[in-house]
Structure 1
Amino acid sequence: MIRLVALLVLLAQPVFAQEVCRDLNSGLQTIHPFKAAIPCLSDDQLKRFFRGNTLFGVTRRTEPTRIGFPGGIGPRYSAQSCAHCHVFNRKGEVPRSPNRAIGVAVALLSLEATDLLGKTLSPYATDLPYGEGRLLTADGAVPHYVIWETNPSAAEYAVRMPMALTGLGLIENVEEEIILELADPDDLDGDGVSGRVSRTANGQVGRFGWKAQHASLVGVTIFALENDMGLTVFESLKLICKSNLSCDAPNSGEAIEVEKAELALLVDYLRYLSAPSDVPSAEGFTLFKTTGCAACHIPSLPTKHPANGARVSIPIYSDLLLHDMGPALADPASVSPNTASEWRTAPLWGLAATLRLAGELSLMHDGRAKTLSEAILAHDGEAHNARQNFLRLEASARDKLLNFLKSL
């Protein structure tokens, strides 16, 4: 009740002039809805969006890019372009047959392995013929890596699927006060759901990433460029050494590989991406609330439009908080064992578009769940009661709830 009352207060908005543009999507179910620009952009913002989109898809090589920015890649990397992993900007997918390579996922390594291989396991390299390893599917199991450069038993790892790039500018503009008001780390209302704010090293409220470990689009973009593509970004000038030997590799010096202007265009592209355009089915929403799903997957949050700062409400179905999901989902790559089973509430918007485009789902942080039912049943910890309520539903009611989720 504490969380609900706080949100109702925060959602109360004054009346604004009608001429201010507040559209979040075009209302059209386009061929690639996750790649559309958010409405209301100025001509200059739209130009930056399209220039950033070009950079997002550029295949990076050791030489400068064809559009005038510096080149560079690696020496260890997971992809040569942003679009390689973020295919059509939707969530990554896991092949359904065993022993198939997964080309879009990243493995985060435990602290014990970072001295040898860095923070992520890189399948490609400029200084190794076969990279550090490959992510393969396992029959009936969580996707796993085969590691070529070290003993597989010597390194624990955690698989991360690329997240959908939906409404990122809207998420970035959710005020910290909103997220703080929703938190209930000591479960003062006694509903079994706590919700903890993730904070960055400098104290900012996190909101991006599976662990809400990033507070801004600039931060999450720099992290991806450095750790997934092995690039040196102007803002951090950090040397990305994937092992003690790679510091002597051609691209591992302090030469800037991502200039300030290039980073700004990439961030603006992400900031101006549209929100989903599907209208949820009214049937099943009551079940969504009564089962307890809405305790974490809060249907809407107030924010500001990235184009003009107008106040809007977004159907995100998330509180952007960390929740304990139980030991089965504990993450060996977590910085602290105390946070291993904590995950940010995944926004549910965009499920309908994903199903329409891909025809199937790869849910949870590692793609282990192939259906919405499997994802719900994987919930435990703070979500234990909601999972049990789902199991107690009659088949017809369960179908209504699942159909509601598929309409988001």
Structure 2
Amino acid sequence: MPPLHRIVTAGLALCNLGCGPEPAALEPGEHLPGGATTVELLLGSNAFTFPAANMTSERKAAFFSGNSFFNQAWVTAPASTTARDGLGPTFNANSCSACHFKDGRGEPGADPEAPSVSLLLRIGLGADPVDGVVPDPVYGDQLQPRATGKVPAEGRMRIEWEEVGGRYADGEPYTLVVPRPAVVDLAFGPLSPDAQLSARVAPQMIGLGLLEAIPESRLRELADPEDRDGDGISGRVQWVWDVGAGTHRAGRFGWKAEQPSVRQQTAGALLGDLGVTSSLFPRQNCPPAQEACLAAIGGGEPEAEDGTLDRMTFYSQTLGVPARRGADDPRVLEGKTLFREAGCDRCHVPSHQTETLPGVDEVEHQRIWPYTDLMLHDMGPGLADGRAIFGASGQEWRTPPLWGLGLVPTVNGHARLLHDGRARGFAEAILWHGGEAEAAREAFRHLSRADRARLLAFLESL
């Protein structure tokens, strides 16, 4: 038998007998990605639903109050349930949990004519420095397929799926599916000819407060818009309008980092998805052409009072991150080495230190492992939606956190990834990477089958 020796292929250490790379060490605390907030119980399909592990029993009352507003359906006004009336007049869903089932991740659905409720369609005519996007004058910035009473629904989305093929460097074939969203049954005539459409699935909810507690100085440190270090990665901060502060701040939430805080993200979803107003967004989502929408009875001004918004925000900020599974498994650690050597960690930055977040002691001063830099990156034409928002172009996307993604099949019964759910698992998600991530994609594509499996095992452990 010839001696074992290493062969370097595409910059990665491989083995001519199928063995893996030298396993990386498990760093202190790495198995607890949310620091002291990490939930270490084996919770199965409820893995994303529990409060931060370091939350006191006194604080849990506010958490579960927010949970009730997140899970229970809002109703049409006027209603005896005055705390939860004000749904619509046009809307996508009647509760937050309809899209974020068990605080998890949405998926596009199998029926092209009736996509899942957890998939919505954003519309835009270009970027705006305060509102984010220029809305369609008749349909606004998001298609509303449902409505209350005699108010017409705006229309519905249809998705056609096109299958395309490719091959790994070793010759093994793969297929990817490309979504082609369109609008049908429009109630008020055609969209603007310049409208850009972007299908979006609901992301999982865990760890949001921890991401909010990463100091802005850390984001500035990670930004490299001119690629001065020459590594091909030019991540940059998305500067967005903070409605409450009346100024621009670093964006952190949403597929293009279009929201600066969990509170504004929550208020924006209440209005955009449920048609529920708040003090941050007090005007109903009714473009001037939609007379019945404008005339509909509301549920108060605002419909979600500040106390309700506060509780929903606290709930969203303090959902615990599940502990990793098998983080110290040699195969997983070999996959971690491959992940790093492929350059994936240049955008999916493994770890950060949180600082303060007023009112949310649980998330402060924690070392966390979300695998994101929260930056915008050009991901190439393959993932482009053409819809610019604030400073993000149609090809730019925020690096999504990877924590908890290995549990999505357990929680939500599917493995659909990326902003529109096109990827049917981690391998397809990687193969869609382009632009700044093209080198990392090609490194993955050139791995042996055994090493691809090792890298995917690492991702599944997160």
TM-score using structure 1 length: 0.88
Give the stretch that moved more between structures: 210-219 or 68-77.
68-77
Which residue of the partner structure matches residue 218 of structure 1? 263
Which residue of the partner structure matches residue 39 of structure 2? 26
Larger Rg: 2
Structure 2 residue 286 is matched with structure 1 residue 264:
no
Report if aligned partners of 2:335, 2:454 keep a CA contact under 8 Å in 1.
yes
Cα distance in 1 for residues equivalent to 2:117 and 2:317: 25
Report if aligned partners of 1:232, 1:255 keep a CA contact under 8 Å in 2.
yes
Which residue of the partner structure matches residue 148 of structure 1? 185
Report if aligned partners of 1:97, 1:139 keep a CA contact under 8 Å in 2.
no
Matches within 5 A, 1:5-404: 23-31=36-44, 32-63=46-77, 69=83, 71-96=85-110, 98-111=112-125, 114-126=136-148, 131-140=153-162, 141-142=178-179, 144-149=181-186, 150-151=189-190, 154=193, 155-201=195-241, 202-246=247-291, 248-251=294-297, 255-279=301-325, 280=327, 281-304=332-355, 306-308=360-362, 310-335=364-389, 339-404=393-458
Q: Deviations over 1:287-320 (max 9, x none)?
A: 0000010110011111148434641111101001
Give the counterpart letter for 1:37 in structure 2.
Answer: P
Report if aligned partners of 2:120, 2:201 keep a CA contact under 8 Å in 1.
yes
In proportion to residue count, which structure has more strand?
2
With over 3 angstroms needed to count, the CA separation of the structure-2 counterparts of 1:231 and 1:357, relative to structure 1, is closer
Give SS of 1:56's match: helix
Report if aligned partners of 1:105, 1:161 keep a CA contact under 8 Å in 2.
yes
With over 3 angstroms needed to count, the CA separation of the structure-2 counterparts of 1:405 and 1:103, relative to structure 1, is same
Q: Deviations over 1:362-389 (max 9, x none)?
A: 1111111112111111111100111111
Cα distance in 2 for residues equivalent to 1:64 and 1:315: 45
> Per-residue deviation at 1:243?
4.3
With over 3 angstroms needed to count, the CA separation of the structure-2 counterparts of 1:77 and 1:310, relative to structure 1, is closer
Give the stretch that moved more between structures: 203-212 or 89-98.
89-98
Give the counterpart letter for 1:267 in structure 2.
Answer: T
> Per-residue deviation at 1:71?
1.2
> Per-residue deviation at 1:407?
1.3
Cα distance in 2 for residues equivalent to 1:372 and 1:212: 22
Cα distance in 1 for residues equivalent to 2:84 and 2:104: 28
> Per-residue deviation at 1:241?
1.6
Which protein, 1 or 2, shows the higher relative CO under an 8 Å CA cutoff with sep ≥ 6?
2
Cα distance in 2 for residues equivalent to 1:181 and 1:407: 28
Cα distance in 1 for residues equivalent to 2:321 and 2:152: 38
Which residue of the partner structure matches residue 9 of structure 1? none
> Per-residue deviation at 1:95?
2.2
Tell me the C-alpha RMSD between the 2 structures: 2.5
Instruction: Structure 1: give runs of 5+ residues left out of the alignment.
Output: 1-12, 14-20
Report if aligned partners of 2:105, 2:202 keep a CA contact under 8 Å in 1.
yes
With over 3 angstroms needed to count, the CA separation of the structure-2 counterparts of 1:338 and 1:25, relative to structure 1, is closer
Aligned-pair identity in percent equals 35
Report if aligned partners of 2:37, 2:52 keep a CA contact under 8 Å in 1.
yes
Give the counterpart letter for 1:110 in structure 2.
Answer: G
In proportion to residue count, which structure has more helix?
1
With over 3 angstroms needed to count, the CA separation of the structure-2 counterparts of 1:316 and 1:211, relative to structure 1, is same
Q: Deviations over 1:297-353 (max 9, x none)?
A: 011111148434641111101001000001222223323796111100011111221
Report if aligned partners of 1:118, 1:243 keep a CA contact under 8 Å in 2.
no
Give the counterpart letter for 1:39 in structure 2.
Answer: A
Cα distance in 2 for residues equivalent to 1:242 and 1:84: 25
Report if aligned partners of 2:104, 2:412 keep a CA contact under 8 Å in 1.
no
> Per-residue deviation at 1:28?
1.1
Instruction: Structure 2: give runs of 5+ residues left out of the alignment.
Output: 1-27, 29-33, 126-133, 163-177, 242-246
